[in-house]
Amino acid sequence: MLELGVGMFGDLQIDPVTGKIQSAQQRLQEIIEEVKLMDEVGLDFFGMGEHHREDYAVASPEIILAAAASVTKNIKLGSAVSVISSTDPVKLYKDFATVDLISGGRAEIMAGRGSFIESFPVFGYDLKDYSELFEEKLDLLLKLKSNPTINWTGKFRKSLINQEIFPRATEGGLPIWVAVGGTTSSVIRAGRLGLPVMFAIIGGAWEQFQPLFEMYKQAYEDHGHDMSKFQVGVHMHAFFGNSSQEIADKYYPIYAAQMNRIGASRGWPPYQRSQFDFGRSALGHLIVSDANQAVEKILAVHEKFGLTRFSTHMDVGSPDHKDMMKSIEIFGTKIAPKVREALKA
Protein backbone atom coordinates (compact mmCIF):
# COMPACT_ATOMS: atom_id res chain seq x y z
CA MET A 1 0.00 0.00 0.00
CA LEU A 2 1.21 3.48 -0.87
CA GLU A 3 0.13 6.25 1.50
CA LEU A 4 -0.31 9.69 -0.05
CA GLY A 5 -0.15 12.91 1.91
CA VAL A 6 1.04 16.46 2.33
CA GLY A 7 3.89 18.04 4.25
CA MET A 8 4.10 21.73 5.11
CA PHE A 9 6.57 24.08 6.78
CA GLY A 10 4.09 26.89 7.40
CA ASP A 11 5.79 29.39 5.09
CA LEU A 12 4.46 32.93 5.43
CA GLN A 13 3.68 35.00 2.35
CA ILE A 14 6.09 37.89 1.79
CA ASP A 15 4.96 40.76 -0.40
CA PRO A 16 7.53 41.01 -3.23
CA VAL A 17 7.18 44.82 -3.38
CA THR A 18 6.87 45.93 0.25
CA GLY A 19 8.51 42.99 2.00
CA LYS A 20 5.58 42.81 4.41
CA ILE A 21 5.18 39.37 5.99
CA GLN A 22 1.79 37.70 6.33
CA SER A 23 0.53 37.43 9.90
CA ALA A 24 1.18 34.09 11.56
CA GLN A 25 -2.37 34.11 12.93
CA GLN A 26 -3.85 34.22 9.43
CA ARG A 27 -1.59 31.47 8.11
CA LEU A 28 -2.26 29.18 11.07
CA GLN A 29 -6.01 29.45 10.50
CA GLU A 30 -5.48 28.69 6.81
CA ILE A 31 -3.41 25.61 7.65
CA ILE A 32 -6.20 24.16 9.78
CA GLU A 33 -8.66 24.67 6.89
CA GLU A 34 -6.21 22.98 4.52
CA VAL A 35 -5.72 19.95 6.76
CA LYS A 36 -9.48 19.62 7.16
CA LEU A 37 -9.81 19.48 3.37
CA MET A 38 -7.02 16.89 3.13
CA ASP A 39 -9.03 14.66 5.43
CA GLU A 40 -12.27 15.26 3.52
CA VAL A 41 -10.72 14.31 0.15
CA GLY A 42 -9.22 11.11 1.57
CA LEU A 43 -5.50 11.83 1.82
CA ASP A 44 -3.65 9.54 4.21
CA PHE A 45 -1.35 11.78 6.25
CA PHE A 46 -0.30 15.33 7.04
CA GLY A 47 3.11 16.44 8.28
CA MET A 48 3.90 19.82 9.90
CA GLY A 49 7.40 21.26 10.08
CA GLU A 50 9.16 23.10 12.92
CA HIS A 51 10.93 26.43 12.41
CA HIS A 52 11.93 29.31 14.64
CA ARG A 53 12.16 32.11 12.09
CA GLU A 54 10.22 35.23 11.18
CA ASP A 55 9.16 33.82 7.79
CA TYR A 56 7.53 30.64 9.14
CA ALA A 57 4.34 30.38 11.19
CA VAL A 58 4.92 27.12 13.07
CA ALA A 59 7.42 26.55 15.89
CA SER A 60 5.45 23.78 17.65
CA PRO A 61 4.00 21.25 15.18
CA GLU A 62 2.25 19.33 17.96
CA ILE A 63 0.01 22.31 18.76
CA ILE A 64 -1.09 22.60 15.13
CA LEU A 65 -1.66 18.85 14.99
CA ALA A 66 -3.81 18.93 18.12
CA ALA A 67 -5.93 21.66 16.54
CA ALA A 68 -6.13 19.66 13.30
CA ALA A 69 -7.19 16.55 15.24
CA SER A 70 -10.34 18.38 16.34
CA VAL A 71 -11.50 18.99 12.74
CA THR A 72 -10.43 15.70 11.11
CA LYS A 73 -11.47 12.06 11.40
CA ASN A 74 -9.09 9.76 9.54
CA ILE A 75 -5.90 11.48 8.38
CA LYS A 76 -2.65 10.66 10.21
CA LEU A 77 -1.06 13.69 11.86
CA GLY A 78 2.69 13.96 12.27
CA SER A 79 5.63 16.30 12.45
CA ALA A 80 7.77 16.95 9.39
CA VAL A 81 10.08 17.26 11.18
CA SER A 82 10.57 17.59 14.92
CA VAL A 83 14.10 18.96 15.38
CA ILE A 84 15.03 16.57 18.14
CA SER A 85 18.62 17.80 18.51
CA SER A 86 17.31 20.95 20.22
CA THR A 87 14.25 19.44 21.87
CA ASP A 88 13.70 17.68 25.18
CA PRO A 89 12.62 14.17 24.10
CA VAL A 90 10.59 13.70 27.29
CA LYS A 91 8.50 16.79 26.55
CA LEU A 92 8.27 15.81 22.88
CA TYR A 93 6.99 12.33 23.70
CA LYS A 94 4.44 13.63 26.21
CA ASP A 95 3.13 16.25 23.78
CA PHE A 96 2.76 13.81 20.91
CA ALA A 97 1.25 11.15 23.16
CA THR A 98 -1.37 13.76 24.02
CA VAL A 99 -2.03 14.45 20.33
CA ASP A 100 -2.28 10.70 19.80
CA LEU A 101 -4.92 10.40 22.50
CA ILE A 102 -6.88 13.41 21.22
CA SER A 103 -6.84 12.08 17.66
CA GLY A 104 -7.69 8.48 18.50
CA GLY A 105 -4.30 7.03 17.62
CA ARG A 106 -3.43 9.08 14.53
CA ALA A 107 -0.27 10.87 15.71
CA GLU A 108 3.27 10.30 14.43
CA ILE A 109 6.69 11.78 15.10
CA MET A 110 9.18 12.36 12.32
CA ALA A 111 12.56 13.00 13.87
CA GLY A 112 15.11 15.01 11.94
CA ARG A 113 17.90 17.54 12.02
CA GLY A 114 15.84 20.23 10.30
CA SER A 115 16.52 22.60 7.40
CA PHE A 116 17.98 25.40 9.53
CA ILE A 117 20.02 25.75 12.72
CA GLU A 118 18.19 28.62 14.45
CA SER A 119 16.71 26.30 17.09
CA PHE A 120 20.15 25.69 18.66
CA PRO A 121 20.70 29.19 20.07
CA VAL A 122 16.98 29.56 20.82
CA PHE A 123 17.05 26.58 23.16
CA GLY A 124 20.61 26.98 24.41
CA TYR A 125 22.47 24.25 22.52
CA ASP A 126 25.93 24.38 20.97
CA LEU A 127 26.27 23.59 17.26
CA LYS A 128 29.52 21.77 17.92
CA ASP A 129 27.39 19.06 19.53
CA TYR A 130 25.17 18.79 16.43
CA SER A 131 25.65 15.06 15.72
CA GLU A 132 25.98 13.88 19.31
CA LEU A 133 22.77 15.67 20.31
CA PHE A 134 20.79 13.99 17.56
CA GLU A 135 22.04 10.49 18.36
CA GLU A 136 21.54 10.82 22.10
CA LYS A 137 18.10 12.34 21.87
CA LEU A 138 16.88 9.85 19.28
CA ASP A 139 18.03 7.05 21.58
CA LEU A 140 16.08 8.55 24.49
CA LEU A 141 12.96 9.15 22.38
CA LEU A 142 12.88 5.51 21.25
CA LYS A 143 13.25 4.29 24.83
CA LEU A 144 10.46 6.62 25.99
CA LYS A 145 8.14 5.14 23.37
CA SER A 146 8.87 1.59 24.53
CA ASN A 147 8.96 2.02 28.31
CA PRO A 148 6.51 3.73 30.69
CA THR A 149 9.21 3.60 33.38
CA ILE A 150 12.68 4.51 32.23
CA ASN A 151 16.26 4.35 33.43
CA TRP A 152 18.52 6.35 31.15
CA THR A 153 21.82 8.22 31.31
CA GLY A 154 23.25 10.55 28.70
CA LYS A 155 25.61 13.47 28.23
CA PHE A 156 23.28 16.41 27.60
CA ARG A 157 20.62 16.10 30.30
CA LYS A 158 20.23 14.69 33.79
CA SER A 159 19.74 10.97 34.15
CA LEU A 160 16.28 9.45 34.46
CA ILE A 161 16.08 6.98 37.33
CA ASN A 162 12.95 4.81 37.57
CA GLN A 163 11.10 7.74 36.03
CA GLU A 164 7.48 7.19 35.05
CA ILE A 165 6.49 8.86 31.77
CA PHE A 166 2.85 9.82 31.27
CA PRO A 167 0.58 10.19 29.41
CA ARG A 168 1.19 7.17 27.19
CA ALA A 169 0.24 7.01 23.54
CA THR A 170 -2.45 4.58 22.41
CA GLU A 171 -1.53 0.89 22.39
CA GLY A 172 0.95 0.32 19.57
CA GLY A 173 0.58 3.96 18.52
CA LEU A 174 2.85 6.93 17.86
CA PRO A 175 5.14 5.62 15.07
CA ILE A 176 8.54 7.29 14.91
CA TRP A 177 9.99 8.04 11.47
CA VAL A 178 13.38 9.53 10.62
CA ALA A 179 13.81 12.15 7.89
CA VAL A 180 17.07 12.07 5.95
CA GLY A 181 18.66 14.05 3.13
CA GLY A 182 21.72 12.59 1.46
CA THR A 183 23.82 11.56 4.46
CA THR A 184 24.87 7.90 4.36
CA SER A 185 25.44 7.70 8.11
CA SER A 186 21.86 8.82 8.78
CA VAL A 187 20.50 6.25 6.34
CA ILE A 188 22.52 3.41 7.86
CA ARG A 189 21.56 4.43 11.42
CA ALA A 190 17.87 4.34 10.54
CA GLY A 191 18.24 0.92 8.94
CA ARG A 192 20.16 -0.40 11.94
CA LEU A 193 17.42 0.83 14.28
CA GLY A 194 14.64 -0.51 12.06
CA LEU A 195 12.97 2.89 11.76
CA PRO A 196 10.86 4.06 8.80
CA VAL A 197 12.68 6.63 6.68
CA MET A 198 11.45 9.63 4.70
CA PHE A 199 13.93 10.73 2.03
CA ALA A 200 13.80 14.46 1.24
CA ILE A 201 14.38 14.71 -2.51
CA ILE A 202 14.35 18.47 -2.98
CA GLY A 203 17.03 19.01 -5.61
CA GLY A 204 18.60 17.44 -8.68
CA ALA A 205 17.47 14.19 -10.29
CA TRP A 206 15.41 11.90 -8.08
CA GLU A 207 16.99 8.69 -9.43
CA GLN A 208 20.32 9.74 -7.89
CA PHE A 209 18.92 8.63 -4.54
CA GLN A 210 18.81 4.97 -5.57
CA PRO A 211 22.09 4.01 -3.79
CA LEU A 212 20.80 5.49 -0.52
CA PHE A 213 17.57 3.48 -0.76
CA GLU A 214 19.57 0.30 -1.34
CA MET A 215 21.88 1.16 1.56
CA TYR A 216 18.93 1.70 3.88
CA LYS A 217 17.23 -1.54 2.90
CA GLN A 218 20.47 -3.50 3.27
CA ALA A 219 21.11 -2.10 6.76
CA TYR A 220 17.49 -2.86 7.72
CA GLU A 221 17.84 -6.48 6.57
CA ASP A 222 21.34 -6.97 7.99
CA HIS A 223 20.14 -6.06 11.47
CA GLY A 224 17.36 -8.63 11.41
CA HIS A 225 14.32 -6.39 11.15
CA ASP A 226 11.01 -7.74 9.88
CA MET A 227 10.72 -6.87 6.18
CA SER A 228 6.94 -7.10 6.41
CA LYS A 229 7.14 -3.94 8.53
CA PHE A 230 9.56 -2.14 6.18
CA GLN A 231 8.45 1.42 5.43
CA VAL A 232 10.09 4.04 3.26
CA GLY A 233 8.87 7.33 1.87
CA VAL A 234 9.81 10.21 -0.38
CA HIS A 235 9.19 13.91 0.23
CA MET A 236 9.14 16.13 -2.90
CA HIS A 237 8.13 19.71 -3.59
CA ALA A 238 4.80 19.72 -5.43
CA PHE A 239 1.91 21.90 -6.52
CA PHE A 240 -1.07 20.98 -8.69
CA GLY A 241 -3.41 22.77 -11.08
CA ASN A 242 -5.79 22.07 -13.96
CA SER A 243 -3.13 22.88 -16.58
CA SER A 244 0.55 21.95 -16.22
CA GLN A 245 1.81 25.03 -18.05
CA GLU A 246 -0.52 27.44 -16.28
CA ILE A 247 0.29 26.18 -12.80
CA ALA A 248 4.03 26.18 -13.60
CA ASP A 249 3.90 29.79 -14.80
CA LYS A 250 1.86 30.85 -11.77
CA TYR A 251 3.94 29.01 -9.19
CA TYR A 252 7.43 29.73 -10.54
CA PRO A 253 7.75 33.31 -9.17
CA ILE A 254 6.59 32.15 -5.73
CA TYR A 255 8.94 29.16 -5.67
CA ALA A 256 11.90 31.09 -7.07
CA ALA A 257 11.46 33.87 -4.51
CA GLN A 258 11.63 31.33 -1.68
CA MET A 259 14.68 29.57 -3.17
CA ASN A 260 16.41 32.95 -3.44
CA ARG A 261 15.53 33.93 0.15
CA ILE A 262 17.03 30.70 1.44
CA GLY A 263 19.91 30.81 -1.01
CA ALA A 264 20.94 34.33 0.00
CA SER A 265 22.10 33.03 3.38
CA ARG A 266 23.74 29.92 1.92
CA GLY A 267 25.68 31.38 -0.99
CA TRP A 268 23.49 29.94 -3.73
CA PRO A 269 23.39 31.64 -7.15
CA PRO A 270 20.04 33.18 -8.20
CA TYR A 271 17.40 30.56 -8.97
CA GLN A 272 16.71 30.18 -12.69
CA ARG A 273 13.63 29.15 -14.68
CA SER A 274 15.76 26.44 -16.32
CA GLN A 275 16.28 24.84 -12.90
CA PHE A 276 12.56 24.92 -12.27
CA ASP A 277 11.76 23.40 -15.67
CA PHE A 278 14.31 20.62 -15.19
CA GLY A 279 12.81 19.93 -11.77
CA ARG A 280 9.40 19.56 -13.40
CA SER A 281 10.73 17.14 -16.04
CA ALA A 282 10.41 13.37 -15.71
CA LEU A 283 13.91 13.26 -14.19
CA GLY A 284 13.57 16.18 -11.78
CA HIS A 285 12.63 16.64 -8.14
CA LEU A 286 9.50 18.78 -8.60
CA ILE A 287 5.91 17.80 -9.32
CA VAL A 288 4.29 21.02 -10.49
CA SER A 289 1.69 19.89 -12.98
CA ASP A 290 -1.80 18.74 -13.75
CA ALA A 291 -3.18 15.51 -12.31
CA ASN A 292 -2.12 13.21 -15.16
CA GLN A 293 1.55 14.23 -15.14
CA ALA A 294 1.59 14.00 -11.35
CA VAL A 295 0.21 10.45 -11.43
CA GLU A 296 2.89 9.39 -13.92
CA LYS A 297 5.72 10.80 -11.83
CA ILE A 298 4.46 9.46 -8.49
CA LEU A 299 4.09 5.99 -10.00
CA ALA A 300 7.57 6.17 -11.55
CA VAL A 301 9.18 7.11 -8.22
CA HIS A 302 7.17 4.43 -6.43
CA GLU A 303 8.21 1.76 -8.93
CA LYS A 304 11.88 2.72 -8.68
CA PHE A 305 12.12 2.84 -4.90
CA GLY A 306 9.35 0.53 -3.63
CA LEU A 307 7.72 3.24 -1.56
CA THR A 308 5.12 2.85 1.16
CA ARG A 309 4.57 6.63 1.47
CA PHE A 310 4.72 9.65 -0.84
CA SER A 311 4.71 13.14 0.68
CA THR A 312 4.09 16.30 -1.33
CA HIS A 313 5.61 19.45 0.19
CA MET A 314 2.96 21.87 -1.01
CA ASP A 315 3.46 25.24 0.70
CA VAL A 316 6.98 26.23 -0.41
CA GLY A 317 6.92 30.02 -0.67
CA SER A 318 3.34 30.14 0.69
CA PRO A 319 1.08 30.15 -2.37
CA ASP A 320 -2.30 31.81 -1.99
CA HIS A 321 -4.69 29.92 0.28
CA LYS A 322 -7.27 29.48 -2.50
CA ASP A 323 -4.61 27.93 -4.74
CA MET A 324 -3.48 25.68 -1.89
CA MET A 325 -7.03 24.46 -1.41
CA LYS A 326 -7.34 23.78 -5.15
CA SER A 327 -4.03 21.88 -5.18
CA ILE A 328 -5.14 19.75 -2.23
CA GLU A 329 -8.49 19.07 -3.88
CA ILE A 330 -6.79 17.92 -7.10
CA PHE A 331 -4.40 15.71 -5.14
CA GLY A 332 -7.19 14.03 -3.20
CA THR A 333 -9.89 13.74 -5.87
CA LYS A 334 -7.93 13.28 -9.11
CA ILE A 335 -4.37 12.16 -8.39
CA ALA A 336 -4.74 9.86 -5.38
CA PRO A 337 -7.60 7.75 -6.87
CA LYS A 338 -5.64 7.19 -10.10
CA VAL A 339 -2.46 6.24 -8.24
CA ARG A 340 -4.34 3.81 -6.01
CA GLU A 341 -6.16 2.27 -8.96
CA ALA A 342 -2.92 1.81 -10.89
CA LEU A 343 -1.28 0.05 -7.94
CA LYS A 344 -4.17 -2.41 -7.69
CA ALA A 345 -3.59 -3.63 -11.26
| Residue 124: burial class (beta carbons within 10 Å; 0-12, 13-18, 19+) | exposed
115 has a pLDDT exceeding 90: no
CA gap 82, 182 in Å, rounded:
18
pLDDT at 177: 98
- Average pLDDT for 255-265: 95
* Predicted confidence band of residue 182 (pLDDT cuts 50, 70, 90): confident
To the nearest whole percent, how much of the chain has pLDDT over 70? 100
Distance between CA atoms of 64 and 78, rounded to whole angstroms? Answer: 10
pLDDT band at 238 (very low <50, low <70, confident <90, very high): very high
pLDDT tens, position by position, 54-90: 999 999 999 999 999 999 999 999 999 999 999 999 9
Average confidence score pLDDT of the chain: 97
Q: Whole-model pTM above 0.75? A: yes
How sure is the predictor about 141, in pLDDT bands with cuts at 50, 70 and 90? Answer: very high
Residues in contact with 98: Cβ distance below 8 Å, sequence separation at least 6, in sequence order = 62, 66, 167
pLDDT recorded at residue 61: 98
pLDDT higher than threshold 80 for residue 6:
yes
What confidence category does residue 108 fall into, taking pLDDT thresholds of 50, 70 and 90? Answer: very high
- My answer on whether omega of the bond before 6 falls inside 30° of 0, hence cis, is no
The Cα–Cα gap between 325 and 256 comes to 21
| Angle made by CA atoms 54, 202, 13, in degrees to the nearest 5 | 30
Per-residue pLDDT, averaged over 208-235, amounts to 97
The pLDDT of residue 171 is: 94
Cα gap 30→20, rounded to integer Å: 18
All domains in the chain, ordered by first residue: 3-344 (3.20.20.30)
pLDDT of residue 273: 98
Confidence bin at 345 (pLDDT 50/70/90): confident
**The pairing of beta strand 3-8 with beta strand 309-313:** parallel
Query: Tell me, what's the pLDDT at 297?
Result: 98
pLDDT in tens, 7-46: 999 999 999 999 999 999 999 999 999 999 999 999 999 9
In 3-state terms, the chain is what percent helix, strand and coil (to 5)? 50, 20, 35
pLDDT of residue 255: 98
- What's the length of the chain? 345
Measured between alpha carbons, how far is 112 from 6 in angstroms, rounded to an integer?
17
Angle between helices 61-69 and 89-103 (to 10 degrees): 10
Residue 275 has pLDDT above 90, yes or no: yes
Judge contact between 44 and 337, C-beta under 8 A: no
| Rg, C-alpha atoms of the chain | 20
